[in-house]
């Protein structure tokens, strides 16, 4: 679901989770000319996140089909942002992806992710990629995320959340 679809959620407000994109991250940064430039959203009061994704020809593996590595990157990025949405800075420790159907080039999809468990240093997350028009499951994944040390979390917060004026975005 994207901002335009938010009107369908009565009583909810949609907010962008990764509000700052002035960096080179392959998954969500707008400064990476080869990146996916994913924008993640959540409805107020909800724990999960989602992002629209329409694969382009540069994401192709076999003719007309999105490369599995790109699909994996979309799911990994979604799980990373749902972990961040909890206020946790973490990195992927383990990723598993199951491909259910081909993700065709040009097909509008939606990646969704949620936290399964949060215990100590590790968090478990899950994600899925579905066709937008009929919600058919295309791929699903699970991952273990490991919290980074506090000094690294502070450095990333300053880089990815705090603007030049010192205010968080």
Q: Residue 95: in which H helix or E strand, if any?
A: strand 90-99
Rounded Cα distance, 79 and 15, in Å = 17
Angle at 19 between CA 18 and CA 22, to 5 degrees: 95
**Is residue 1 over pLDDT 70?**
no
Highest averaged pLDDT of the listed ranges 16-20, 38-42, 86-90, 95-99: 95-99
What would the 3-class secondary structure string for 57-80 be?
HHHECCCCEECHHHHHHHHHHHHH
Predicted confidence (pLDDT) per residue in 105-127, tens digit: 999 999 999 999 998 899 999 99
> Under CATH, which number does the domain 3-160 receive?
3.10.129.10
Give the C-alpha distances (Å, rounded to integers) separating 129 from 3, 23, 55, 64.
18, 25, 12, 17
């Amino acid at each position: 679901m994207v901002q335009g679809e938010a009107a369908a959620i009565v009583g909810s407000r949609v907010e962008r989770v990764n509000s700052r994109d002035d960096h080179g991250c392959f998954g969500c940064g707008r400064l990476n000319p080869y990146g996916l430039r994913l924008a993640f959203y959540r409805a107020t009061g909800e724990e999960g996140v989602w992002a629209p994704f329409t694969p382009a020809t540069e994401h192709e593996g076999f003719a007309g089909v999105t490369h599995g590595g790109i699909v994996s990157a979309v799911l990994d990025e979604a799980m990373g942002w749902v972990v961040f949405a909890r206020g946790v800075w973490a990195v992927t420790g383990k990723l598993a992806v199951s491909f259910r159907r081909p993700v065709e080039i040009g097909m509008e999809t939606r990646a969704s992710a949620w936290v399964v468990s949060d215990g100590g240093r590790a968090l478990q997350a899950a994600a899925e990629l579905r066709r937008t028009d009929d919600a058919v499951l295309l791929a699903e994944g699970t991952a273990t995320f490991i919290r980074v040390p506090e000094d690294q979390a502070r450095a990333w917060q300053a880089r990815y959340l705090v603007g030049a004026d010192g205010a968080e975005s």
